[in-house]
Chain A
Amino acid sequence: KQEVTQIPAALSVPEGENLVLNCSFTDSAIYNLQWFRQDPGKGLTSLLLIQSSQREQTSGRLNASLDKSSGRSTLYIAASQPGDSATYLCAVRGGSGTYKYIFGTGTRLKVLA
């Protein structure tokens, strides 16, 4: 059964710092991995989608990497801003013979001004 873990559960950093959020999964036979942002009381917004054949994807100050063999993905946020404060979730599609998305429990990020 595919399991997705995100560490740390919460993170507080000063504005301007570069930071890395981690996501690990147990079954490497995945189709793709997606990073989402969730603001309090809101739905999930897709940030980056990495296909299983890709190593990384970039969008603005965000960079996501994927290492299937080790079951890991990282989300790198450069020059963090208070507006980046949110919960970040990773979701893995596939593994254990399924094409459904399995979600991690998220990392709650607070960027201090």
Chain B
Amino acid sequence: NAGVTQTPKFRILKIGQSMTLQCTQDMNHNYMYWYRQDPGMGLKLIYYSVGAGITDKGEVPNGYNVSRSTTEDFPLRLELAAPSQTSVYFCASSYSITEKLFFGSGTQLSVL
């Protein structure tokens, strides 16, 4: 069991570039989440999904897009990267709303 796997671990983007952060889980979890963590600011929810084909916005969705075509995968797309998107991004998943939340190891993204 690999748990929640995120790739890449580090990435540097130029302003205006686009990229996709990959997240996959092998625990058959229904709920998947994308968070960003800025220094001293805690975690902010970007997007979440309650199952394949169903996604919804979190607290800070602007500049991001997601899709959930399978139970396992929940990629996060950054369009037209901006310096404000410099952050550490975490993917997380849980089986249900009463079960534990499991996190990936994160992607550190810098937009210069």
* Contact bitstring A93-113, B, C-beta under 8 A = 1, else 0: 110000111111110000000
- Chain B residues touching A, majority SS: loop
Q: Is the CB of A104 within 8 A of B45?
A: no
Q: Is the CB of A44 within 8 A of B42?
A: no
Cα(A103)–Cα(B98), bound, Å: 16
The distance from the CB of A48 to the nearest CB of chain B, in whole angstroms, is: 9
The distance from the CB of B7 to the nearest CB of chain A, in whole angstroms, is: 13
Question: A-B contact count, CB below 8 Å?
Answer: 49
B12 at the interface (CB under 8 A from A): no
Across the interface, which residues of A come within 8 angstroms of B35, CB to CB?
103
Across the interface, which residues of A come within 8 angstroms of B106, CB to CB?
42-43
B105 at the interface (CB under 8 A from A): yes
User: How many chain A residues touch B (Cβ–Cβ < 8 Å)?
Assistant: 24
Measuring CB to CB, which residues of chain A are less than 8 angstroms from any residue of chain B? Answer: 4, 31-32, 34, 36, 42-46, 49, 51, 89, 91, 93-94, 99-106
Can you list 30 pairs linking A and B with CB atoms under 8 Å apart? Answer: A31-B97, A31-B98, A32-B98, A34-B101, A42-B105, A42-B106, A43-B103, A43-B104, A43-B105, A43-B106, A46-B101, A46-B102, A46-B103, A89-B42, A89-B43, A91-B43, A91-B101, A93-B97, A94-B97, A100-B33, A100-B45, A100-B48, A101-B33, A101-B45, A101-B101, A103-B35, A103-B43, A105-B40, A105-B42, A106-B42
